Amino acid sequence: MFAVDNGAGKAYTCAMNRRQFVESQGATCDNWNWCWSFINEAEHMIIFGAWDTNTTGIKAKILSDDWQTNDVGRRNPGYNKSIEHIRLIRAKGYRLMTFPMVQRRLLNGKVKIKRIIPRLSPKKLFRYGSSWYATEPEEGVLEPLAEELTEPEDFFEGAKTTVTINSYERNPKARAACIAHHGCKCAVCGFNFVEVYGPLGDGFIHVHHLIPIGQIRARYRVDPINHLIPVCPNCHAMIHRTEPALTIQLLRSYLLS
């Protein structure tokens, strides 16, 4: 049994299989037996199921070149369709969404879906080596350089946009103001990219929301000095390893001396 957001801010409890959940999101596929990616044409949205065994931290492998054939060397009919869905994301601006799937491996080595978690999450697509990954929208992206503030300014973010789920806007000027004040050194471990990578790392850092905007669920005035803090990608990932997220002070306590 799972709690599912119905898009109106109310939750209902249900047990859903993969097809029921995907169809509830307005998406479909060519064949429910072999597809692992799905499309909602009206919403320009591509949905991938993300196996728990292919998910590490904030990223999930959703497609790989070696998935063209199965374990016995036969062609996987779902591969070409997923490649087409990847193309739509990259070339046509389709949004990438994923939902978790828990794997059950049978005695004969075949894999079945033990259960799905009916929770759709917006992701960013990136390729590494021979595989495609879905990761958090703010992760793995070259961030803009900080902007110098010449006068006080109000910043707003977190306006809710209703899609199939709720996503929250982030204000790039607030991010820049945070960096202009705090600098680009990680507030947890002290790592500074420019000190290690030289000019390539200049201005690169993640910015963490001390109060997750997904919990506020409303448009609000963000204070870039007191609400945001620069952290390196590693520490940012560790902060969000738990729910609720770790505090900066608590994560510091985990650092080995």
Torsion of CA 236, 238, 239, 245, to 10 degrees: 140
Task: Please name the helix (run of DSSP H) or strand (run of DSSP E) that holds residue 46, with its range, or none.
Answer: strand 45-51
Lowest mean pLDDT of 10-14, 102-106, 227-231, name the range.
Answer: 10-14
- Say if residues 113 and 102 touch (Cβ distance below 8 Å): yes
In the three-class reduction of DSSP (H, G, I as helix; E, B as strand; rest coil), residue 136 is classed as coil
The full set of domain ranges for the chain reads 2-135, 155-254
CA-based nearest residue to 207, from 193, 224, 220, 190 = 224
**Range 79-87, long-range pairs (CB < 8 A, 24+ positions):** 81/29, 81/30, 81/35, 81/37, 82/35, 82/36, 82/37, 82/48, 85/37, 85/39, 85/46, 85/48, 86/46, 86/125, 86/132
Angstrom distance (rounded) from CA 126 to CA 112: 26
- Say if residues 239 and 246 touch (Cβ distance below 8 Å): yes
Lowest mean pLDDT of 22-31, 102-111, 241-250, name the range.
Answer: 102-111
Q: Give me 44's structure tokens.
A: 């320009």
Q: Which residue has the higher pLDDT, 1 or 159?
A: 159
Q: Which residue has the higher pLDDT, 254 or 165?
A: 254
What pLDDT was estimated at residue 37? Answer: 95
CA-based nearest residue to 187, from 216, 218, 247, 230 = 230
* Residue whose token pair is 């596929």: 29
∠ Cα 241 244 245 (to 5°): 50
Q: Which residue has the higher pLDDT, 256 or 159?
A: 256
Lowest mean pLDDT of 66-75, 87-96, 139-148, name the range.
Answer: 139-148
> Residue 243's pLDDT band (boundaries 50, 70, 90)?
low
Can you tell me the mean pLDDT for 10-16? 51
Q: What are phi and psi of 64, to 5 degrees?
A: -140, 150
Q: In angstroms, what CA-CA distances link 221 with 59, 96, 170, 218, 245?
A: 30, 28, 11, 10, 21
> 0.85 cut: is pTM over it?
no
Angstrom distance (rounded) from CA 148 to CA 33: 54
Can you tell me the mean pLDDT for 28-47? 93
Most confident by average pLDDT, 93-102, 166-175, 206-215, 244-253: 93-102
Q: Is the pLDDT of residue 7 over 50?
A: no
Lowest mean pLDDT of 29-33, 50-54, 97-101, 104-108, name the range.
Answer: 104-108
Angstrom distance (rounded) from CA 103 to CA 42: 30
Q: Is the pLDDT of residue 144 over 60?
A: no
Integer Rg of the chain from CA: 20
Mean pLDDT (the chain) is: 79
CA-based nearest residue to 4, from 28, 17, 16 = 16
